[in-house]
Amino acid sequence: MIDRPRIDALQYCNWSRPVFEQMREGGLDAVHVTIAYHESFRETVLNVEAWHRMFERHGDLILHARDVSDIDRARETGRTGILFGFQNPSPIEDDIGLLQVWRDLGARVMQLTYNNQSLLASGCYEDDDTGLTRMGREVVAEMNRLGILIDMSHSGDRSTIEAAEHSTRPIAITHANPAAWHPALRNKSDDVIRAVTGAGGMLGFSLYPHHLKDGSDCTLESFCEMVARTAEAYGADRLGIGSDLCQGQPDSVVEWMRTGRWTKAVDYGEGSADAPGFPPQPDWFTDNRDFPGLATGLRAVGFSEQEVDGLMGGNWYRFWADALVPA
């Protein structure tokens, strides 16, 4: 067995038994999965219900992970732990009390925004980032108390820095890359990465083509060299993988991600002037079976075996061991 767990801090695949089998082939011990983009409380409960059916049907491959002890159990039994998270605060609607309900239902990660302004903070697509709102500060404190990880992957710079400063526990950016490497709107400035990692938080590197230099043509060497430069600047122990893998999803899902119900127009988002659609993955990372090749690429750019184990999941495991328990 690999000394440290293999963890992906963000996926939103079209879930099926073949995908779960590929997780096992790739050696993944845990995956943080998105169970809400723009869904209301009730709609997200239905997504949880669907996941429970998958746990019943595919219990030989996956289990519901609520903390690192469940990841340990997954490793011991040859399965992958599935950790629930939201990419938007919409499942709590305008009620801070629903955070406790969601923790009881298994949610362990929540983004304060998804591209747009929310009741909590500003998204990275807004022209003006006004930072944490009054409710945002209260929600951050309640998430700290409950052990729900604050994720700022789709938030604006000011909002992210304020969240890192206001939170009494380290926060995360689960899936993004440095803007200095590729200036996508969703990638993060040096100031943001420094604020998050400097406060003990984590950055998960995204493998979604719009976040990669040269897009779908990005090479493994280019990606791994970017990881190496980021590690030199912020420390290898603050970094991991959050692939943003959306394997098997129809293009209509991209429109739901970007548009939800907030506009009647089409939000083209990054990387396309046409109707929303998923770009092809780089040929070295097409599904979960490619995780071992990613580890090989990290070794090739000079990371030690211990550092590779950390980047491939050990760092997330250590971080989650503290972040996912109540204060």
CA distances from 103 to 106, 143, 147, 182 (A): 5, 9, 8, 35
Residue with tokens 């950790």: 83
Count of beta carbons in the 10 Å neighbourhood of residue 248: 14
Strand partners, 11: 33, 245
Q: CATH code at 155?
A: 3.20.20.140
Domain assignment present for 2: no
Domain count, the chain: 1
Residue with tokens 């289990």: 63
Nearest to 41 by CA among 88, 4, 78, 77: 88
Type of residue numbered 112:
L
H or E element at residue 68: helix 68-76
User: Which tokens go with 204?
Assistant: 């998960």
> What is the pLDDT, as a whole number, of residue 174?
98
CA distances from 296 to 56, 61, 220, 245, 252 (A): 34, 25, 10, 19, 34
Domain assignment present for 222: yes
Termini Cα distance of the chain: 32
Q: Could you list the residue range(s) of the whole structural domain that residue 123 is in?
A: 7-323
pLDDT by residue, tens only, the chain of 327 residues = 457 899 999 999 999 999 999 999 999 999 999 999 999 999 999 999 999 999 999 999 999 999 999 999 999 999 999 999 999 999 999 999 999 999 999 999 999 999 999 999 999 999 999 999 999 999 999 999 999 999 999 999 999 999 999 999 999 999 999 999 999 999 999 999 999 999 999 999 999 999 999 999 999 999 999 999 999 999 999 999 999 999 999 888 888 888 898 888 877 666 554 556 889 999 999 999 999 999 999 999 999 999 999 999 999 999 999 999 999
Domain assignment present for 254: yes
The angle at the Cα of 70, spanning 66 to 75, to the nearest 5 degrees, equals 145
Q: What is the DSSP string of 146-196?
A: HT-EEE-TTB-HHHHHHHHHH-SS--EE-S--BTTTS--TTSB-HHHHHHH
> What is the pLDDT, as a whole number, of residue 266?
76
> What is the pLDDT, as a whole number, of residue 1?
44
Contact 210, 279 (CB under 8 A): yes
Domain assignment present for 1: no
- C-alpha to C-alpha distance for 158 and 129, rounded to whole angstroms: 6
Type of residue numbered 130:
T
Domain assignment present for 30: yes
Strand partners, 83: 32
